[in-house]
């Protein structure tokens, strides 16, 4: 066993890695914490750039609300179902849209000042040894008592730790671009459609003149080429055709509906590396910040049994939410159920709040909310049936 085993090596300095680093330092002021990232910051990341209310609350918990400085809050969300039904929600607090080039740079800077050492290198794999983990980097090996893998959707740490558990069926793909703002009030627009499974387009306001726009599919089956994704984005969004082609960029979406993968002995996974992406909206920054924080808490509390503690923390915070969104993702595959759900939300503020919280926060279905949604779905389906009969 080599000399110089670091207490903690964090692989990846996106939102999950930054949250893990800042939290680890806060809990263990004397710990030897190393962060490794192959990118030089500031760097771009394919993303809708939208931060939910809960993501902003996580930033506050990390002492990093400066990450949204200079950007105006967005107070309206509009959801459109595959059949064109709409609900406009006003969540109790605002979200933000901050280009990842800026957001991640601000977070990485905070992480850099919390880390003992920052290594600019690619990680090729991790190897488990008796009392430590060997992290193989392009800059040579690093030894760690504990590793947190926050290296995103194509996680090398995850691949080295798991036995190919991730399934293509639960890995979506999405592209984003930048476009001029469309006419109308500043709002986050999310449009669902059904094409061999659920897909979505979005237009999110960065400022008065520019929007982040994009399109993604939630099923890895029959993955469409990038050109087809751009075509659907153009078809569904008012400003899709004006998107700057030079800014089109795509990435995978490891969806939590396929099961989350929290790691193994001495190697924890957080954020996209753990497959923590919402299967109905593609949102992942909030879960990355939250799970990065929880992984660092578990590692600080019990380095030798961190996984067990981490599982409990994630289950407590997100278990019900993940089960609920998985259930909603399944429901969304059935006929026009999303149409009825959006229509039910438009008719009832409590259903609308719940839908927004399932889509962008950590809302969970309760027996009472299921009864409300069920009744709303039934009323909406009955109205649609009546309308169809009166037309014929
Ligand atoms: C098109 C698109 C739109 C999206 N829109 C939204 C949205 O609007 N809102 C939202 O909340 N979520 C959105 N998401 C999801 C969100 O982007 C991710 O969930 C989020 O970035 C996860 O953060 P992370 O820290 O886990 O990983 P990442 O942000 O991917 O960070 C991983 C880091 O690890 C580094 N890394 C990777 N591999 C290695 C390696 N081998 N060695 C060293 N370093 C490595 C990378 O350089 C990177 O800095 C979107 C995703 C896509 C693809």
3-state secondary structure of 154: coil
Mutation to probe ligand 1, out of 51, 272, 359 (largest number of atoms < 8 A from CB):
272
d(Cα 291, Cα 162) in Å, to the nearest integer? 18
Mutation to probe ligand 1, out of 37, 147, 173, 240 (largest number of atoms < 8 A from CB):
37
pLDDT band at 349 (very low <50, low <70, confident <90, very high): confident
Instruction: Report how far ligand 1's centroid is from the alpha carbon of 325 (Å).
Output: 20
pTM over 0.85: yes
Six-digit token string for 343: 């229509």
172 Cβ inside 6 Å of ligand 1: no
pLDDT band at 388 (very low <50, low <70, confident <90, very high): low
pLDDT 10s digits, 173-213: 999 999 999 999 999 999 999 888 899 999 999 999 999 99
d(Cα 388, Cα 339) in Å, to the nearest integer? 15
> What residue segments make up the domains of the chain, in order of their start?
6-43+100-166+256-324, 326-391
Instruction: Report how far ligand 1's centroid is from the alpha carbon of 14 (Å).
Output: 6
3-state secondary structure of 345: helix
211-236: average pLDDT = 90
Is a pLDDT exceeding 70 seen at residue 226? yes
Instruction: Report how far ligand 1's centroid is from the alpha carbon of 12 (Å).
Output: 9
Is a pLDDT exceeding 60 seen at residue 167? no
The confidence score (pLDDT) of residue 2 equals 58
DSSP designation for 83: T
pLDDT 10s digits, 285-335: 999 999 999 999 999 999 888 999 999 999 999 999 999 999 988 888 776
122 Cβ inside 6 Å of ligand 1: yes
Instruction: Report how far ligand 1's centroid is from the alpha carbon of 144 (Å).
Output: 24
95 Cβ inside 6 Å of ligand 1: no
Instruction: Report how far ligand 1's centroid is from the alpha carbon of 376 (Å).
Output: 36
Instruction: Report how far ligand 1's centroid is from the alpha carbon of 39 (Å).
Output: 12
253 Cβ inside 6 Å of ligand 1: yes
Report which of 75, 158, 63, 157 is spatially closest to residue 110, judged by C-alpha positions.
63
Instruction: Report the nearest-CA residue for atom 27 of ligand 1.
Output: 152
Six-digit token string for 359: 């889509």
Does the domain formed by 6-43+100-166+256-324 have CATH 3.50.50.60? Answer: yes
120 touches 38 (CB < 8 A):
yes
156 Cβ inside 6 Å of ligand 1: yes
Is a pLDDT exceeding 70 seen at residue 238? yes
d(Cα 245, Cα 176) in Å, to the nearest integer? 10
Q: For 140-195, where are the alpha helices, taking DSSP H only?
A: 156-161
Instruction: Report the nearest-CA residue for atom 17 of ligand 1.
Output: 47
Instruction: Report how far ligand 1's centroid is from the alpha carbon of 153 (Å).
Output: 7
- Asked if residue 22 has a cis previous peptide bond (ω within 30° of 0), the answer is no
d(Cα 193, Cα 199) in Å, to the nearest integer? 5
* Phi, psi dihedrals of residue 384, rounded to the nearest 5°: -60, -40
d(Cα 128, Cα 263) in Å, to the nearest integer? 12
d(Cα 37, Cα 30) in Å, to the nearest integer? 22
Q: For the chain, where are the alpha helices, taking DSSP H only?
A: 15-27, 53-62, 100-114, 156-161, 226-236, 285-301, 306-332, 337-347, 349-360, 367-391
d(Cα 38, Cα 148) in Å, to the nearest integer? 15
Is a pLDDT exceeding 90 seen at residue 220? no
d(Cα 129, Cα 224) in Å, to the nearest integer? 41
Q: What is the DSSP string of 25-75?
A: HHH-TT--EEEEESSPSS----S--EE-HHHHHHHHHHT-GGGGTT---B-
What atom of ligand 1 comes closest to residue 270's alpha carbon?
A: 26
């Amino acid at each position: 066993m080599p000399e110089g085993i670091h207490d903690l090596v964090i692989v990846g300095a996106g939102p999950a890695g930054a949250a893990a680093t800042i939290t680890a330092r806060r809990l263990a002021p004397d710990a030897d914490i190393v962060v490794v990232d192959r990118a030089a910051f500031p760097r771009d990341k394919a993303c809708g750039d939208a931060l939910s209310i809960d993501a902003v609350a996580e930033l506050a918990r990390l002492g990093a609300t400066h990450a949204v400085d200079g950007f105006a809050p967005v107070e309206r969300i509009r959801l459109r179902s595959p059949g064109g039904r709409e609900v406009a929600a006003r969540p109790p607090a605002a979200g933000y849209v901050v280009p990842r080039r800026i957001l991640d740079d601000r977070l990485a800077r905070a992480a850099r000042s919390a880390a003992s050492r920052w290594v600019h290198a690619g990680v090729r794999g991790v190897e488990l040894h008796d009392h430590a983990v060997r992290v193989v980097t392009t800059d040579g090996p690093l030894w760690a008592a504990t590793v947190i893998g926050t290296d995103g959707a194509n996680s090398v740490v995850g691949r080295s730790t798991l036995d190919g558990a991730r399934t293509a069926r639960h890995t979506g793909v999405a592209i984003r671009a930048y476009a001029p703002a469309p006419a109308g009030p500043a709002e986050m627009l999310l449009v669902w459609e059904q094409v061999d499974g659920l897909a979505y387009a979005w237009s999110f306001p960065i400022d008065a003149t520019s929007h982040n726009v994009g399109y993604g599919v939630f099923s890895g089956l029959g993955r469409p080429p990038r050109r087809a994704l751009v075509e659907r984005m153009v078809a569904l969004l008012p400003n899709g055709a004006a998107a700057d082609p030079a800014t089109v960029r795509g990435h995978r979406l490891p969806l939590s509906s396929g099961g989350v993968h929290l790691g193994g002995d001495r190697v924890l996974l957080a954020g996209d590396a753990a497959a923590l992406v919402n299967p109905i909206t593609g949102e992942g920054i909030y879960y990355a910040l939250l799970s990065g924080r929880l992984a660092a808490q578990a590692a600080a509390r019990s380095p030798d049994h961190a996984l067990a503690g981490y599982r409990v923390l994630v289950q407590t915070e997100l278990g019900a939410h993940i089960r609920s969104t998985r259930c909603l993702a399944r429901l969304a595959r059935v006929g026009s159920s999303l149409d009825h759900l959006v229509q039910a939300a438009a008719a009832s503020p409590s259903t609308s709040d719940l839908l927004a919280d399932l889509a962008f926060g950590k809302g969970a279905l309760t027996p009472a909310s299921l009864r409300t949604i069920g009744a709303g779905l039934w009323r909406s389906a009955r109205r649609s049936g009546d309308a169809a009969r009166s037309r014929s």
